[in-house]
Amino acid sequence: MTRKPNQQRFETRAIHAGQSPDPLTGAIVTPIYQASTFVQDGIGENKGYVYTRSGNPTRLTVEACLADLESAESAFVFPTGLAAAATILDLLESGSHIVAHDDLYGGVYRLLADLAPITRGHSVTFVNFADSAAVAAATRDDTAMLWFETPSNPLTRIVDIEAVVAIARKVGALTVCDNTFSSPYCQRPLEVGVSVVMHSATKFLNGHSDLLAGVAAVSPTAPEGVALRMKYLQNALGSVLSPVDSALLLRSLKTLAVRMERHCENAMKIATHLSENKEKFGLKEVWYPGLADHPGHDIAARQMHGYGAVISLIVEGGQPRADAIMKATHLFQFAVSLGGVESLIQHPATLTHATVPEARRIETGIVDDLVRLSVGIEGVEDLLADIEVALTGTLDV
Ligand SMILES: Cc1ncc(COP(=O)(O)O)c(C=O)c1O
């Protein structure tokens, strides 16, 4: 049955959706049901729960909240983003054809390029999804799934979601959009026809760099049976988020809107400042979808509400200067990951995308002088000062 869309504002839904005071105690926050099993009243008689892998009240609450925020029929939470991705792939029969974005997080690339062909017999065609004509050309009558990220990791390429949905519909393929970089605050792909949204909830959804989690959210308009199949697979593969982590994620969602607002505001100011002073800072490129000269800006303006908080830079001076910059920043800490309240800086070629073969990495544009920033919610003046000192202080490396 399709749920009626919640008409309340996103900020309100992030705090209340799927939640009500604990019926036993009135606790305003959903309790952590830290139990592996539930006592049965008789055969087939219980209070709705049997065993935590198949259902846990804390997990079901965060799943209901996420489903609401993504305008999904149902959402499922996993121990990591990659676990969510692997489970989504298992929606397909073995030997399927997938068309995938060539600019994906390295771990998802590894899953699709290395594992899926061996363990599931899938064949995967990689193509630049920012080029809709190339996606159409790569899609065959028997293509079962189109998989993309927008903005992509790490190049912040923008995919025209509606164009990809139209291509997939022609051949009856499922569409999977990794919405990690945007969060549902900035972009809701299911509302424009995508079948399944996935997340590394480790990033903006949780936002505090203290847990790993993944999400798969299924559209009410996805082919019949997809939501039920996801639920089946989550249990059958045993890939569930723990009650404690579910509670942490639920707590984090309550501040998602205010965090995202500040993330986007800070990132826009920093990207604008760096882009306007490229020469002074020794930068060849500044990529942020909010900048008017970003190749995907017009599409991003149409399909996003806020442009996220990831900025990619191509620096003068190659890898040695990239290394020097990452060592010189203090507030932008040198660590992988993104989407936390604290700002991070990292080197995709040797870290997040080290699993991508060198030739493909360079062909895609994940070059040695690429540095990725994840802008946090600190005071933007402090962040600007931190990055300015690092960039100007390393011009002679
Ligand atoms: C866009 C994207 N998708 C998926 C993942 C994988 O998520 P996890 O690290 O939670 O398994 C990541 C991790 O960095 C990511 O950036």
- Which residues 6+ apart lie within 8 Å of 164 measured at CB? 129, 132, 135, 146, 148, 175
Q: DSSP letter string over 42-75?
A: BTTBSSS-SBTTT--HHHHHHHHHHHHHTT-SEE
Express as a percent the part of the chain with pLDDT over 70: 99
Asked if pLDDT for residue 3 goes beyond 60, the answer is no
Asked if pLDDT for residue 339 goes beyond 50, the answer is yes
Asked if pLDDT for residue 278 goes beyond 80, the answer is yes
What pLDDT is stored for residue 229 in this prediction? Answer: 98
The catalytic position among 68, 102, 103, 178 is 178
Asked if pLDDT for residue 188 goes beyond 50, the answer is yes
Q: Within the chain, where are the H helices? A: 10-16, 57-69, 81-89, 106-110, 132-138, 161-171, 183-186, 226-236, 243-253, 256-276, 278-281, 297-303, 318-328, 358-364, 380-392
Express as a percent the part of the chain with pLDDT over 90: 96
Cα-to-centroid distance, 82 and ligand 1 (Å): 6
Residue-wise pLDDT for 144-155, tens only, equals 999 999 999 999
- Give the chain's radius of gyration (CA, Å): 21
Asked if pLDDT for residue 382 goes beyond 90, the answer is yes
Residue-wise pLDDT for 229-248, tens only, equals 999 999 999 999 999 999 99
What pLDDT is stored for residue 2 in this prediction? Answer: 47
What pLDDT is stored for residue 396 in this prediction? Answer: 85
Q: Which two tokens stand for residue 220?
A: 């009410």
Average pLDDT (380-397) is 95
- CA of 243: how far to CAs of 35, 49, 363, in Å? 8, 14, 42
Asked if pLDDT for residue 271 goes beyond 70, the answer is yes
C-alpha–C-alpha distance, residues 114 and 91, integer Å: 18
What pLDDT is stored for residue 387 in this prediction? Answer: 98
Residue 269 neighbours by CB distance under 10 Å: 16
- Which residues 6+ apart lie within 8 Å of 44 measured at CB? none
Q: Residues 264, 275: contact at Cβ < 8 Å?
A: no
Residue-wise pLDDT for 47-91, tens only, equals 999 999 999 999 999 999 999 999 999 999 999 999 999 999 999
Residue where the block lists tokens 């830079």: 313
Asked if pLDDT for residue 371 goes beyond 60, the answer is yes
What pLDDT is stored for residue 397 in this prediction? Answer: 80
Asked if pLDDT for residue 367 goes beyond 90, the answer is yes
The catalytic position among 13, 68, 103, 105 is 105
Residue where the block lists tokens 């986007």: 264
Q: Residues 275, 268: contact at Cβ < 8 Å?
A: no
**Average pLDDT for the chain:** 96
Q: Does domain 257-392 have CATH number 3.40.640.10?
A: no
Ligand 1, pocket residues at CB < 6 Å: 80-82, 105, 107-108, 149, 153, 178, 180, 200, 202, 212, 214
Known catalytic membership, residue 307: no
Asked if pLDDT for residue 335 goes beyond 80, the answer is yes
Q: Where are the domains of the chain?
A: 10-253, 257-392
Q: Strand pairing of 283-287 and 310-315? A: antiparallel
Asked if pLDDT for residue 1 goes beyond 60, the answer is no
Cα-to-centroid distance, 307 and ligand 1 (Å): 18
Looking at residue 91, what DSSP letter applies? T
Residue-wise pLDDT for 80-138, tens only, equals 999 999 999 999 999 999 999 999 999 999 999 999 999 999 999 999 999 999 999 99
CATH architecture of 10-253: 3-Layer(aba) Sandwich (3.40)
What pLDDT is stored for residue 372 in this prediction? Answer: 97
